Chains A and B, each alone.
Chain A
Amino acid sequence: MRIYVCVKHVPDSAATITIRGNNQIDESVTFLLNPYDEHAVEEGVRLKAQIGASEVVAVTLGKEAAINTLQSVLAMGADRGILIKTNDRPDSIFTARALKAAIEQDGKPDIIFTGKESIDSEGMQTMFRLAAALDMPVATNVVAFSIDREHAFVECEMEAGVRQLLEMPLPCVIGTGKGLNKPKYPTFIDIRKAKQKEIKQIVLASLKIEKPAASMEISELKLAVEQRQPKELKGQPQEIVKELIQVLRDEAKVL
């Protein structure tokens, strides 16, 4: 089976973000594998372990530095990596087309894993666009997954306490949610072995993707301002709670 995993190179969620110019961030912070994509990689690697005779190929669209994320994905057990290189920041309409083109150039996918969301753009949509471009069924926020020869069976987490069970023919696209698996941290040996694995680099322009009619662009990016002025409620517990209830009633108007 050919298993593809789409991964994104994103700023560490613990990093302090500063804004450059009008609509960009200062990229000198630590970047790493998008946390949700860890589950996608883990599931791809597990699937290979389960069915054998497969290849797990990680694909990313990003700057040259995204090679580091591919490297960590290879250490997690993926067999090869593909970097679609660009210095632009394509929106997800364009990204999905690029991922499709690179995957099709590489081989015929039986299944494609993605995360359910990237933590930088918080777009929640690339897997749906990729699936539509490839004319495949898609499920997202998948927390349980299995396959037989022709189908994928998934459970998707809906709102608290509700799951939908879906069945789809292969090939399909699976957006992995957090409950799906526990990603293993690579050992030193895994990391060393990963250095031997192949990473193919493609220049985005070489994929000759037609400019889509629709687009989304960030016209302005600002730091979220923290305007809260913390006040301490002091006194005996009974009094503190009395004050709190007053706040809930008069200020928040929820009682």
Chain B
Amino acid sequence: MEKVGILIEFKDDKIKKTNYGVITLARQQGCELYALVLNGNAAACKEQLQQYGIKKIIDIASKEGPLQWHPVKWARAVVAAMDHFGINTLCGLTSAQGKELLPRIAADLDAPLVMDCTDVVLNERAAKKSQFSGKTVATIKVNGNHFIFGIRPNAIEKQPDPCEAEVIPFQTTVDKEALVVKEIKLQTHTGIDLTEADIIISGGRGMQKPENFAILFECAQVIGAAVGASRAAVDAGWAPHSMQVGQTGATVSPKVYIACGISGSVQHFAGMKTAGLIVAVNTDPEANITKNCDYYIVADLFEIVPILSRQLKLVVGENQLT
């Protein structure tokens, strides 16, 4: 059975649920899974990981204890653990952290790496990923001694398969590195991370001014959605770049994407075309997005969104009562 390492990601010490899709992918192909945890939370996430069929959790630490975040040291530690346990294939997320770590690991090992995979057939060493701003799907065949895949968050549906996991400590030595992490800076909080969210509600040029994004945030809060924006809205200064969805922004794969006042340019689609369900609210029935979505509403977003918030509050309220 092929050994596959899964690089587990956390946000504020809580395991990200997008990990489970990555685990599901590798598990369903009959691999022996090793969850790799670097931040000292291995024991704390045992319960959750064993729900998804993880039997071995490698708790990677140094002599001094858990590893502080450091992209180079973390990458080296993962390579050391792969070497020690004889793991030749590694899967992680194509998240901000994955974009930092997976290419460093691949460069260290001089191994092939496919980022942003929407599917991987591990024994064929083949991955599917988008190319050309999402206009094509490429099958990439990789050759080498190690294989690294970054999976697009939410691209693979998670499926539980409970078992019993054991936590295996692994101690690595950490060298001094030329690169120094000076600080982790928290900027203004924009709520839920776009790539983690099941539902995204996005605003474009149709939002008209920055204050109006408040109606999207209000709606999003009711259902735990994240708020996104088109480049037109970002360039106008109505939303920070971290909220931009598209070719030069975030690539997202939520279950539902609600586009409000967004025309649906190729570059915007490049970032959200793999969403489960696309809903558009647009005053123009001819807008490009109405030709490439699942449901569209020809109406003023300033009328629809507040009603949506109100009705959702009622529905969520009912759900909590029952």
Task: List chain A positions with a Cβ less than 8 A from chain B.
Answer: 11, 13-14, 17, 19, 23, 25, 35-36, 91, 93, 119-125, 127-129, 131-132, 137-141, 153, 155-169, 178-179, 212-224, 226, 228-234, 237-238, 240-242, 244-245, 247-249, 251-255
Contacts and interface: CB of A to CB of B under 8 A. Distances in A.
Interface string B242-279: 11000111000001100000000011001001001111
A240 B299 contact: yes
Interface in B10-28: 11
15 contacts: A13-B133, A25-B136, A121-B131, A160-B190, A160-B243, A165-B182, A166-B181, A178-B241, A213-B145, A214-B144, A222-B136, A226-B273, A241-B307, A242-B311, A248-B199
B112 A93 contact: yes
Contact of B266 (A14, A122, A127): A14
Interface centre among A25, A36, A240, A241 (most CB of B within 10 A): A241
Interface of B: 11, 69, 71-72, 94-97, 99-100, 103-104, 106-108, 110-116, 126, 129-146, 150, 177-191, 193-195, 198-199, 223, 241-243, 247-249, 255-256, 266-267, 270, 273, 276-279, 285, 290-299, 303-304, 307-308, 311-312, 315-316, 319
Given A214-B143, A255-B223, A168 B179 contact: yes
Nearest to B289: A230
A215 B111 CA distance: 8
Contact of B307 (A120, A238, A252): A238
B279 to A, nearest CB: 7
A230 B292 contact: yes
Contacts of B145: 213-214
Contacts of A158: 96-97, 100, 184
Contacts, number: 256
A247 B187 contact: no
B179 A160 contact: no
Contacts of B248: 35-36, 178
Contacts of B96: 141, 157-159, 162
Main secondary structure of the interface of A (DSSP, over half): mixed
A139 to B, nearest CB: 7
Nearest to B277: A252
B266 A164 contact: no
Nearest to B294: A228
Contacts of B307: 237-238, 241
In the complex, the 4 A-B pairs of residues with the closest C-beta atoms, listed nearest first: A214-B144, A132-B107, A128-B103, A125-B103
A119 B247 contact: yes
Main secondary structure of the interface of B (DSSP, over half): mixed
Given A161-B189, A164-B184, A228-B278, 20 more contacts: A13-B266, A14-B266, A121-B131, A124-B99, A141-B99, A159-B11, A160-B190, A163-B187, A164-B181, A168-B179, A213-B144, A214-B110, A216-B141, A221-B131, A221-B138, A224-B134, A232-B290, A247-B279, A248-B199, A254-B256
Given A161-B242, A167-B179, A224-B273, A119 B185 contact: no
B178 A168 contact: yes
B295 A244 contact: yes
A17 B134 CA distance: 10
Nearest to A178: B248
Nearest to A122: B131
B297 A159 contact: no
Nearest to A132: B107
Contacts of B247: 13, 35, 119
A58 B140 CA distance: 29
B132 A17 contact: yes
Contacts of B106: 125, 128-129
B277 A247 contact: yes
Contacts of A253: 255
Nearest to B94: A124
Nearest to B142: A216
